[in-house]
Chains A and B, each alone.
Chain A
């Protein structure tokens, strides 16, 4: 499989090493620094070597300070994030996988139009839709409820497009015809034949939807009025606004300094990090499946 490599000059090798070394530093140093910052006090962060390790006890201290902020608001925010993200994920999978399947492998009036609209909507900048969505939600009195976040999150045309591509290039419709001749209903064909074949793309849709929803800021920021409803991303914004580090007037009553902010950031991204670590292989395989076209 591997192409034969030509011997390369020393200069080319050296350039490769230097460029890659610099970019590796660029991508890794902030993460390493973030991890280390939680092990130190704020004054240690300023005084000590940036890459020194403090102590694990300091992590506990930072957690106590963080937890004290609005009586454990950080946990509420994480719970909210989980609720919104998984709620939307469930609806996305239930709606987008069958839709992609039908667009690719069945025939109905309006199919092409639906496909065109899906592609168009997929290209539409989502943030510009946030205010119109808010106004719509406001008109039907759903703004401020969890549905004002979950339902827009679960509308995921990119997922429909991905499953559509996958089904139309990886599942021959002869296979489905054979199952029909054997007496399967349409629902059985989908559930017993198409769904098991689509596992990689279902994982891919789930991944993108999960990460996108978890990291979304603008929509919940606009929709939700109350801190007890915020997801973690909007909560982080509150922490920043309340930190004496950046805001001398309002931030006197708490101890949200650099270690606490760093810890809050880490705690917030842990779920995404876990998903990243487990899905990297599936992700590359899935992207390759999308990348090769005959």
Chain B
């Protein structure tokens, strides 16, 4: 707030000093967004922190809500479920998306364009639609891959949806809807690497693998980091997937499988908004910590040096 425009302009960006000194118009242009930012970004966050630190009579209780929710018998399992899911999901997403993008890049252009589009299309079914589809699709009685499921020894939907299978199942669903979009992004990033660099490496005798490992992957690190942050944040937030699977599991899957579901239970089953807020703050801190870590490690937002 205290940075004076003139000092900022001359001090920070010598090369880009042609920015126009039009203070009042600038405020008018950002005003709508700032209102939304305050009302739906800053204030709810502040309110959540306040609720997490206070009790139902508006008295400050310090970290009481955090220790209380931590001691809940459902807390450990919920975060363990999410942790397991994140390991499976992030590992497969990172490896497969980068691999597929590299394989699509530098091959028959027309085929690769149509393949990218086909991979990307399931993204239209994100959310409830994809879970619903997989719930019907993975019922061995009606499934087109029933033979495959039965070869694992699963004869009913309940066996496919067994609690131990959920991290893998949610990974399949999330990969099916989300990977295509990331492949489009990675492909774009790979395209931005100048051909001369790859050509020079080839002339020097580098193999496809060496080019991928030493040139292409290092040059798209920022985009991989960006994918990691967003996938991590989305992964900790699972709600609709376990909610629907739990609905269709005849009580086998608890309705507090993920932290967000647990938070929902606190708020709407127990009417404990302070506990719910504490859980939300846990998740916010988790997501932000990961984001900040990756941003600093990779310099994701350093546009001036990038």
Could you list which residues of chain A lie within 8 angstroms of chain B, going by C-beta atoms? Answer: 1-6, 12, 16, 19-20, 23-24, 26-31, 33-34, 37, 45-46, 50-51, 91, 94-96, 98-99, 101-103, 105-114, 117-121, 123-136, 139, 151-152, 154-155, 157, 160, 165, 168, 172-174, 176-177, 180, 186-187, 190, 211, 215-218, 222, 233-234, 236-237, 240-241, 246-247, 258, 261-262, 265, 268-269, 272-273, 276, 280, 283-284, 287-288, 290-293
Contacts and interface: CB of A to CB of B under 8 A. Distances in A.
A292 to B, nearest CB: 4
Nearest to B41: A121
Contacts of A135: 44, 47-48, 51, 273, 277
Would you call the interface of chain B mostly helix, strand, loop, or mixed? helix
Interface string B147-184: 00000000000000000000000000000100010001
A261 B136 CA distance: 9
A129 B287 contact: no
B75 interface: no
A106 B29 contact: yes
A136 B43 contact: yes
Interface stretch (B16-24, B61-69, B83-91): B16-24
A159 to B, nearest CB: 9
The 9 closest A-B pairs by CB, nearest first: A50-B144, A108-B26, A186-B25, A127-B237, A102-B29, A132-B48, A99-B33, A95-B32, A125-B287
A125 B236 contact: yes
Interface residues of B, number: 113
B260 A128 contact: yes
A240 B107 CA distance: 43
A268 B130 CA distance: 11
Contact of A215 (B126, B273, B286): B126
B227 interface: no
A95 B33 contact: yes
Interface of B: 1, 3-5, 8-9, 18-30, 32-37, 39-45, 47-48, 51, 100, 103-104, 106-107, 109, 115, 117-129, 132-137, 141-146, 176, 180, 184-185, 188-189, 191-192, 195, 198-199, 202, 208, 223, 229, 233-234, 236-237, 239-240, 243-244, 247-248, 260, 263-264, 267-268, 273, 276-277, 280-281, 283-284, 286-288, 291-292, 295, 301, 303, 306
Contacts of A95: 32-33, 35-36
A132 to B, nearest CB: 4
A131 B30 contact: no
Contacts of B9: 107
Contacts of A27: 118-119, 121-122, 176, 180
Residue picked from B35, B43, B136, most chain A C-beta under 10 Å? B136
Contacts of A6: 202
A291 B40 contact: no
Given A98-B29, A109-B5, A276-B121, 9 more contacts: A3-B199, A6-B202, A109-B4, A123-B229, A127-B237, A135-B277, A177-B18, A177-B20, A236-B129
A131 B263 contact: yes
Nearest to A15: B103
B188 A284 contact: yes
Given A23-B100, A151-B40, A291-B189, A108 B27 contact: yes
A6 B47 CA distance: 60
A218 B36 contact: no
A242 B1 CA distance: 54
B20 A105 contact: yes
8 contacts: A50-B144, A91-B36, A94-B32, A95-B35, A105-B19, A106-B25, A107-B19, A276-B121
A211 B34 CA distance: 23
Contacts of B145: 29
A112 B25 contact: no
